[in-house]
Amino acid sequence: MSEGRISASASLQSSVGVTSAEELAEKYQKLFSEFSRIKAQHSVLKKAVRKEQVTNASLQEDCKAKEQELRASHQQLDLLNFHNERLTKRIQSLQDSGNAKLSTGWLLGSTKKEIEKLKASLDARSIDLTRKIEENEKLHKELYEVNSLYTQHVNVLQSNISELEKKKEELQLELTRSHMASEEALSTMRLEKREVEAKLEETRRELQLTNALMEKNEQKLKEDDDVLRAELNALRQTLLINLGLADGAQSEQLNTLSEKMDSESNEIIESFRLLQNNTREYLNSLKENKENPDLSYELSLKVKNSSQVWQKNLQNLAIKFTSAQSKISELTTKNEFLFKVNETDSSKVSDLEAKISRLREELDKQKVSSQDLNNNNNNISLSEQSSTKLNNSVGNSVLNSNEFNESILKSASQSDEVKEENGPSKIFDDQNESDEEVEFVYPVNPSIEPPVNENKESTAQAASAKSTLADDDDNNATGNGIAASFLALERDMSGRKDDDAKQRENLIKKHYECKITQLTEQLQLADGKATRFYKALETMQSRLANAESKNAKLQKELAKSNEIFADERKSHEKSIETMQKYITELSDDKVKLTNQLNQLKAGPSNRAM
């Protein structure tokens, strides 16, 4: 019965192991598909980064060209300012000389020469004014071109911002997916933990059942020992009785022993009684009826048949005795082994509880990391709000003007910084690729040796008993030989109990070692999954942090460029106002000079009149 239960439990455990292996294979395939998808996304992001680097290089070249154009325009402005100052000084000197001449007076002859000089100066001034007007128109055209370039640059920056926002959304989606994957991993870990706890409970129940079976087997062993002792005593007493010299006291002892024995032993006793009765009748017939040999011959045949039946029953009893002794040895070895297994299982249960506590600590750590991810998501939402505000400010500051060179220089230097930062990110991506290339190796199941045939020795013993008992079929004095065979069997069984016990112990040890290896494999798989998901979370967090830092730097650059453009716009508006004031002053001076010339022309004509 115990062997049947052990085989049933082993078959159940093997079926559970197969199902768990299939589930683990399905989980591994799912994880491999997710890994390939994430790797494809990673390659796409790499291509996008390379495209952005190319665009940054082209923008730097454009910036250098624009810087050269701005330097040329600054040189032209400096020349114009120098000519304007020279002309203002000349006009002031002419005004001073005109006032001095008007105050002191002059001769009529010299007035014509002065008028001619004034006409020449007016012509030169008109030429200068026309030239300045043309230059002013050119400057307005250049301002329009610079404003158009500025709007184009702002549009490019806005497109870059939109692309970065799209990438940010993609990274957020990846982060949510990784968060979902981590939650799924946590749920699987919890399920595996529950399965391990259920298996632990099952092992504890099995231990309890084995303890109960041990107690029952001990009771059965005690009962079987008592019965076998009684049967051995009965057999020894029956063998000591002579076939023809049985007393009444011995028959009474046989009656008392028959009450203690089973129905099978009663058959042996009945056959022995028949043999006794037949032998008595045969002996009486030999004493009384010497004249009738036929009766004595018939009685001798009956004695022979009864002796054959008794020998067959004795052979069956010897076989049963050997099987009972083998069962006793098996039960004793099982009892000892179960005590040892109980101790080893208690130690293994403590180890599994320690592993469960370690898994709980890892789950707590992963919960903390998930909370950190939620905090990062909140920070990302705040950064999105700030980016919308900055975009509004950029839309308001689109109409900035000339001094575009400083902002372009700063954007070039900051693009260099972004390149420097892209370098370690590439290194980090290469490290991630090298980490992803490392494969997780699963432990190999230890080979289970096939069970040894245990019934060879018992069959050999039964065959030897049969051969020793089959040689004495025709002899009447077989009792002494059977007793000697029983004594030899007892000696052999005492020496062979240890070998059977060792074989049983080895089999049960292998069975429980298989259980323990299956549980350790499942725990190792769970640990490997947890480490993989933790590495994936770390890589996604680092990518998110890099993207956020880049976005923050670009937003800072936009804010600085907007401030610079606003200052430049104010300065250009002020310079344009001063130029307009100067032009109006020049036009007023021109009007005054024309009036003075008209007055001078009218003065000599009036005097002549």
User: How many H-runs (helices) and E-runs (strands) does the chain carry?
Assistant: 8, 0
Ranked by mean pLDDT, the top range of 104-108, 273-277, 295-299, 444-448 is 273-277
**Is pLDDT above 80 for 555?**
no
Which CA distances in Å does 514 have to 509, 511, 520? 9, 5, 10
Among all chains, which residue has been given the structure tokens 């990110």? 425
pLDDT bin (cut points 50, 70, 90) of residue 237 is low
Place of tokens 């004509």: 605
Q: What is the mean pLDDT of the chain?
A: 68
Q: What is the pLDDT of residue 498?
A: 67
pLDDT at 121 exceeding the cut of 60:
yes
Q: What is the pLDDT of residue 102?
A: 59
Q: Which of 485, 486, 483 is nearest to 240 (CA)?
A: 483
Out of 347-351, 389-393, 421-425, pick the least confident.
421-425
pLDDT digits (tens, 9 = 90+) for 101-112: 555 444 455 667
Query: C-alpha 263: how far from its chain's center?
Result: 68
247, pLDDT greater than 60? no
Name the range with the highest mean pLDDT among 141-145, 224-228, 414-418: 141-145
More confident residue, 497 or 173: 173
Average pLDDT on 48-67 reads 82
Q: What is the arithmetic mean of pLDDT over 181-202?
A: 81
Query: Is the distance from CB of 478 to CB of 429 less than 8 angstroms?
Result: no
Whole-number pLDDT of residue 464 = 46
Question: Does the pLDDT of residue 250 top 70, yes or no?
Answer: no
pLDDT at res. 380 = 63
State the amino acid at position 298 in one-letter form.
E
What pLDDT was estimated at residue 93? Answer: 79
Least trusted range by pLDDT, from 243-252, 262-271, 485-494, 510-519: 243-252
Give me 378's structure tokens: 């909140």
Q: Is 383 helix (H, G, I), strand (E, B) or coil?
A: helix
Q: What is the percentage of the chain residues whose pLDDT exceeds 70?
A: 58
Q: What H or E segment, with its residue span, contains residue 445?
A: none
Instruction: Give the mean model confidence (pLDDT) for residues 545-564.
Output: 78
Beta strand spans in 324-388 (E): none
Sorting pLDDT into bands at 50, 70 and 90, what band is 435? very low
**Stronger pLDDT, 146 or 5, i.e. the higher one:** 146
At 569 the pLDDT is 72
* Most confident region among 262-266, 317-321, 489-493 by mean pLDDT: 317-321
pLDDT given for residue 276 in this prediction? 72
**Does residue 425 register a pLDDT over 80?**
no
DSSP state of 543: H
**CB neighbour list of residue 193: distance below 8 Å, 6 or more residues apart:** 356, 359, 360
CB atoms within 10 A of CB 482: 20
Residue 485 exposed, middle or buried by CB count within 10 Å (0-12, 13-18, 19+): middle
Share of the chain above pLDDT 90, in %: 0
Mean pLDDT calculated for residue range 587-593: 72
Contact 467, 481 (CB under 8 A): no
pLDDT tens-place string over residues 326-357: 777 777 777 677 777 767 766 776 777 777 77
Q: Is the pLDDT of residue 582 over 50?
A: yes
Per-residue tokens: 225 = 């020992």
The answer to whether the beta carbons of residues 383 and 172 sit under 8 Å apart is: no
Gap between the Cα atoms of 538 and 178, Å rounded: 10
Indicate if the pLDDT at residue 56 is higher than 60. Answer: yes
The pTM of the whole model exceeds 0.85: no
Q: Are 146 and 400 in contact (CB under 8 A)?
A: no
Higher pLDDT, 512 or 66: 66
Integer Cα distance of 29 and 24 in angstroms: 9
The answer to whether 402 touches 565, Cβ cutoff 8 Å, is no
Please answer whether residues 150 and 565 qualify as being in contact, where contact means their C-beta atoms are separated by less than 8 angstroms.
yes
Structure tokens at 121: 């100066």
